[in-house]
Amino acid sequence: MHGCKILSQGGVDSSSLMTILDRYLAKEILKCLVIVLAVVLGLYVIVEFFNKADNFMEAGLPVSRLIRYLQLKLPLIIVQITPIGVLLAVLVALGLMNKNNEIIALKGGGGSVYFLLRAVLSIAVLLSIVLFFLSEIVVPITISKANRIWLAEVKNEPALLTRQKNIWIKQNRTIYFIKYFNPQNNSMSGVALNYFDDEFNLSKRVDASSALYKKGKWTFYDIMQQELNAETRTYDMQYYPQRTVKIDIQPEDLKRVFKKSEEMNIAELFSYIREVESEGYNATAFKVDLHARFALPVLTVIVCIIGIGIAVKRKGREGPSVSIALGALMAFLYWVLHSFCLSLGYGGLLPPFVAAWISNIIFSCYAVLNLINAE
């Protein structure tokens, strides 16, 4: 590394060294990142292509439509894997520097591990900003289009449901209205079932304050039933506190109506949370996803600090392989913990902020302590 050679001659001040080091590390890390992303994305496309090929063929769609579907999913995959790609890229770049004794030369010339920190963090912050805007602007558009291809064209499930709340569904001579559906516990609120005869006259109406899907059945609560009396041509009314009602709607059918969090930008997600809560419904899952939207880009900075701590503590002769193995282990532990905490958040066992950020906080503490010990 040129910076270490010049430093060892004693002819370069710290600011010049920092500039050289910044450029060198930026080039090496970005080069490694491109390779890592290319490999991972290539593997994803191949696996997903063969997984989905039969579905597209059965739907009579050309290969070009499958390719388009995969293209639309790539931005989301890039957002999800980039933090791990950055960690591996930092470990490879610094591991090679360590193997070539360049980090030893840096320390011997009066440099510090914190020189590396500044250089790496500048890249991490830039990538975090890029990831944030990618997930905010590009991903909601592309993943919505991908989901529409999958549901409408592959699964042949046209959008019967057009809104996330106030859902209307028409099936044969029955029209269902659902004020709100909670996909977390498969429950409905404000349900109205309208049954029509052959001449499309209302023959029966069932109103319920709520309904819960459990063990393959819908149980309705606080029910008011109105049924047309054929003789008097008036409606007989009857109340039931609880009753099992057979309807041709499954929770999976209702889940299609929901714009997933990944299909909304932050403004839309925040607006939807306020709207749901203003009507007295539970928006916990969406709050968790909102906080997670901010937490993911920050992870890029955290993994860079972890990468520096791991790489510089390794002995030069070990090369980057041991560092990469440790980095992969750290990535695995992070995603296990993060997924577990998100699940607790969705279930209401952790506050949304804590569920989304606790993994980052824990790994930030580890990153800082590891970096201090590496100095």
Domain map of the chain by residue range?
2-156+286-374, 165-255
Half-sphere exposure of 311 (CA within 13 A, CB side): 30
Give how far Cα 89 sits from Cα of 62, 121, 312, Å. 37, 13, 14
Any idea which of 137-146, 272-281, 349-358 has the lowest mean pLDDT?
272-281
Six-digit token string for 311: 């790489």
**Do the beta carbons of residue 83 and residue 299 sit within 8 Å?**
yes
Output 315 or 10, whichever has higher pLDDT: 315
End-to-end C-alpha distance for the chain, whole angstroms? 20
AA letter at 269: L
In the chain, what percentage of residues exceed pLDDT 70? Answer: 85
Give me the pLDDT at residue 258, please.
63
**Predicted confidence (pLDDT) at residue 120 exceeds the cutoff of 90:** no
Q: Which residue has the tokens 């995603």?
A: 335
More confident site: 323 or 108: 323
Amino acid residing at 209: S
Residue 371 is encoded by which pair of tokens? 């970096």
What pLDDT was estimated at residue 100?
A: 72
Q: Report which of 254, 275, 253 is spatially closest to residue 264, judged by C-alpha positions.
A: 275
CA distances from 42 to 46, 70, 81, 304 (A): 6, 11, 13, 24
57-61, 107-111, 172-176, range with the lowest pLDDT: 107-111
Task: Tell me: pLDDT of 83 over 80.
Answer: yes
pLDDT at 158 over 50: no
pLDDT reading at 3 higher than 50: no
Residues across the chain: 375
Better pLDDT: 122 or 239? 239
Highest-pLDDT range among 68-72, 246-250, 268-272: 68-72
DSSP reduced 3-state for 60: coil
Q: Which residue has the higher pLDDT, 109 or 252?
A: 252
Are 279 and 180 in contact by the 8 Å Cβ rule? The answer is: yes
pLDDT value of residue 7: 41
Q: What is the pLDDT of residue 57?
A: 93
Closest CA to 248 of 278, 216, 275: 216
Distances (CA, A) of 55 to 14, 46, 68, 155, 355: 60, 15, 14, 8, 36
Share above pLDDT 90 across residues of the chain, in percent, rounded to a whole number: 36
Strands, E assignment, 136-272: 165-171, 174-182, 187-196, 202-214, 217-228, 235-245
- The tokens for 78 are 């890039």
Q: Where are the alpha helices (DSSP H) in the chain?
A: 2-8, 14-58, 63-99, 102-108, 113-133, 139-148, 251-255, 266-278, 284-313, 320-346, 352-374
Indicate the pairing of strand 202-214 with strand 174-182: unpaired
The answer to whether the beta carbons of residues 206 and 225 sit under 8 Å apart is yes
Whose tokens are 């500048």? That residue is 122
Residue type, 75: P
Beta-bridge partner residues of 176: 169, 193
At 107 the pLDDT is 62
With cut-offs at 50, 70 and 90, classify the pLDDT of residue 256.
low
d(CA 138, CA 331): 25
Rounded Cα distance between 30 and 113, Å, is: 20
Per-residue confidence (pLDDT) for residue 205, from 0 to 100:
93
Give the pLDDT mean for 174-199: 87
pLDDT per residue as tens digits for the range 340-353: 999 999 988 999 99
Of the CA atoms within 13 Å of residue 30, those in its CB half-sphere come to 12
Residues 6+ apart with CB under 8 A from 120: 25, 29, 90, 304, 305, 307, 308
pLDDT for 71 equals: 94
Averaged pLDDT of the chain: 83
Write out pLDDT tens, residues 189-240.
Answer: 999 999 998 888 889 999 999 999 988 899 999 999 999 887 888 889 999 9
Indicate if the pLDDT at residue 143 is higher than 50.
yes
pLDDT at 159: 43
Residue 163 has pLDDT above 70, yes or no: no
Q: What is the pLDDT of residue 56?
A: 93
CA distance 236 to 239: 10
SS (H, E, C) 297-325: HHHHHHHHHHHHHHHHHCCHHHCHHHHHH
Q: Are 299 and 132 in contact (CB under 8 A)?
A: no
Query: Over the Cα atoms of the chain, what is R_g?
Result: 28
Reading the block at residue 82, the tokens are 């980039």
